[in-house]
Amino acid sequence: MDIEKIRNMRLGTVEQRYGRREVILYALGLGYGADPLDAAELPFVFEGTGDELRCVPAYVNVLCDPGFWAQDPQYGIDWVRLLHAEQEFTMHRPMPACGTLRGEHRIAGVEDKGLGRGALLHQEKELFDADGGEKIATVRSTLFLRGNGGEGGYGTAPAAAEPVPERAPDRVVNIPTLPRQALLYRLSGDWNPLHADPAIARRAGFDKPILHGLCTNGIACRAVLAAYCGNDPARLRGMFVRFSKPVMPGETIRFAFFEEPGRLRFRAIAVERGAVVLDRCTATLN
């Protein structure tokens, strides 16, 4: 891995326009509309009169994406073994159902875990309304470079996330995924073949393609909105998740919520394997 090339890389500004089709496709990729008669979920997948469409806040994670730059061989990243480690977004104002956003990106740092232990790469993105200039969201993501490490680093790592409480959850929500979930979700812009090509998945050490981490993240956002926000996106201010294990398409995800003053803590479990797939998660609500 060429640390200096990564340090000096400039991802630049990305502008993206999105409309009803993109917002609805993203929601379908998260499993909205599984029951087309569910009146609570219908506003995320049906535009109604044109004024009623709701945008899932987690959509900020995928908008204005700079592309899968880690595949470029000049950076020396073993991209086949790359995994998503953490994702966080903070909403500065509600997402409009349609619009044009401008994304400004930077690589905040590389945290070297040592030879054979991998490295963590921290990215940041700020989203602005392209017309009015108002800041919409700040997004932070951490990538676990399993095939790297021992090559140096730079920058300051974010503080470690706190464990969730060791007690019975206050609320549990189960959301099933579809065997084709990854193939549907990737249409929102994440074309990493790890989630579609069985041969690539086997090279990465998996029996079959895994679900995108950001799809699991979006499903967590869906669970929070349903359980605590009355499906009103404006009530969610931000969310942090740590990806502990991948979800296999077709599994049921169980969200265990722990209510705390001023925030909501949670973890997610793949029911069929009993595996914790998201941990140390936090949501903040209005």
Which sequence positions are flagged as catalytic? Answer: 190, 195, 210, 213
Pairing of strands 82-91, 236-243: antiparallel
Written as six digits, the tokens of 46 are: 């049906």
Closest CA to 226 of 65, 30, 7: 30
Written as one letter, the residue type at 15 is E
Residue identified by tokens 């206050």 is 170
CA distances from 194 to 65, 185, 280 (A): 18, 13, 25
Pairing of strands 252-260, 99-112: unpaired
Closest CA to 183 of 196, 200, 164, 168: 196
Ramachandran bin of 110, using left for φ above 0, alpha for ψ from -120 to 50, beta for the remaining angles: beta
* Beta carbons of 239 and 216 less than 8 angstroms apart: no
* Beta carbons of 136 and 101 less than 8 angstroms apart: yes
List b or e across 132-149, with b for residues whose CB sees 16 or more CB atoms inside 10 angstroms: eeeebbbbbbbbbbbbbb
* Distance of alpha carbon 53 from the chain centroid: 21
* Beta carbons of 281 and 268 less than 8 angstroms apart: yes
